[in-house]
Amino acid sequence: MSNAHAVEIDGLVKLYGGTRALDGVSLTVGEGEIVVLLGLSGSGKSTLLRHINKLDVPTEGHIRVLGEDVASLRGKGLRHLRSRIGVVFQQFELVGSLSVLENVLTGTLARLSGPRLGTWMYPKELRTAALGHLDRVGLAGREHQRSDTLSGGQQQRVAIARALMQSPEILLADEPVASLDPESSQQVMDLIREIGRERGLTVLCSLHQVELAMSWGDRLVGLRAGKVVLDTPASGVDRDSVMQIYSAVAPGVPAELAALDATVPHLRQAVS
Ligand SMILES: Nc1ncnc2c1ncn2[C@@H]1O[C@H](COP(=O)(O)OP(=O)(O)OP(=O)(O)O)[C@@H](O)[C@H]1O
């Protein structure tokens, strides 16, 4: 990890109509740091991640990413910044009818001109690189398989390989294992961390699984109602302090229950 900053956020406020999705977030992330964003559903994790590659623009505040003032970037400059930031989503966002290899190759579309239909339309060196990334994520030999015939964990590996095609410096992962079973979740998270370390990537990842987050990240950042309420190295942190993020959500809702994944609204109704 170097001392340089990959992401510098100062006083970020985001309003959606009357909703204060982010409420004065200031955060600095060092190059090569692996950061987990934790917090209840609706606490602002995805909104924060979306500001880093300018999928959303601040109502107030400043963001610098890889030395660039994000608000001032447009056109080519914005495309260049986005090419340095890989993204992995909860729902993988693969084209199910395309082969694994073609999905990985689409990670290069932003820097190629003209449409590409079929893997043969990509330069040979890109196909070779894509096969290398598939090997790295444990999917060697699957390149010609239709993507929608893979398991969820395998599809997320394809999405990681696709992100690697950009040779990113930052990886944003928005609940990358929310739709996976616990075993696949652990494997995918391990893979993201190993790849992050190997390549010196700065990783920002939102998660709902507290135990996984504590054993996985270098640093935990907790959001509640758009504010940073926890910012700590993961090493040595005690679980109770992390659970504070989820406490006092609503009268009668224990923090343990509130911290549960997408089932929270249903459980809340059940206990209230
Ligand atoms: N495009 C939008 N338009 C209006 N409101 C939005 C929009 N995006 C987010 N919000 C609101 O902003 C708040 C923060 O949402 P966000 O998706 O960032 O939370 P989150 O912590 O990522 O939640 P989850 O864990 O469920 O993904 C919520 O109240 C949400 O309803």
Task: Give the per-residue pLDDT at 250.
Answer: 56
Predicted local confidence at residue 123, as pLDDT: 85
Tally Cβ neighbours within 10 Å of residue 77. Answer: 13
Can you give the pLDDT at residue 149?
97
Distance from C-alpha of 248 to C-alpha of 265, rounded to nearest angstrom: 15
Tally Cβ neighbours within 10 Å of residue 57.
11
Note the pTM of the prediction, 2 decimals: 0.90
Pocket of ligand 1 (CB under 6 A): 16, 19, 21, 39, 41-47
Query: What's the pLDDT at 91?
Result: 85
Cβ neighbours of 9 (radius 10 Å): 22
- Atom 25 (ligand 1): residue with closest C-alpha? 41
Q: How far is the CA of 44 from the centre of ligand 1 (A)?
A: 6
Determine the distance separating the centroid of ligand 1 and the alpha carbon of 63, expressed in angstroms.
19
190 close to 205: Cβ distance less than 8 angstroms: no
Nearest to 161 by CA among 225, 74, 88, 230: 88
The 3 state secondary structure assigned to the chain is CCCCEEEEEEEEEEEECCEEEEEEEEEEEECCCEEEEECCCCCCHHHHHHHHCCCCCCCEEEEEECCEEHHHCCHHHHHHHHHCEEEECCCCCCCCCCEHHHHHHHHHHHHCCCCCCCHHHCCHHHHHHHHHHHHHCCCCCCCCCEHHHCCHHHHHHHHHHHHHCCCCCEEEEECCCCCCCHHHHHHHHHHHHHHHHHHCCEEEEECCCHHHHHHHCCEEEEEECCEEEEEEECCCCCHHHHHHHHCCCCCCCCHHHHCCCCCHHHHHHHHC
The pLDDT, as a whole number, for residue 112 is 62
Q: Which residues of the chain have pLDDT under 70?
A: 1-3, 109-116, 248-272
Asked whether 224 and 235 are in contact (CB, 8 A), the reply is: no
Largest Cα–Cα separation, the chain: 60
Q: For position 115, what pLDDT does the model report?
A: 63
> Is 48 within 8 Å of 227 (Cβ atoms)?
no
56 CA distance to ligand 1 middle (Å): 12
Q: Are 163 and 133 in contact (CB under 8 A)?
A: no
Quick one: pLDDT at residue 263?
Answer: 38
> Cα(116) to centroid of ligand 1, in Å?
34
CA-nearest residue for atom 26, ligand 1, is 41
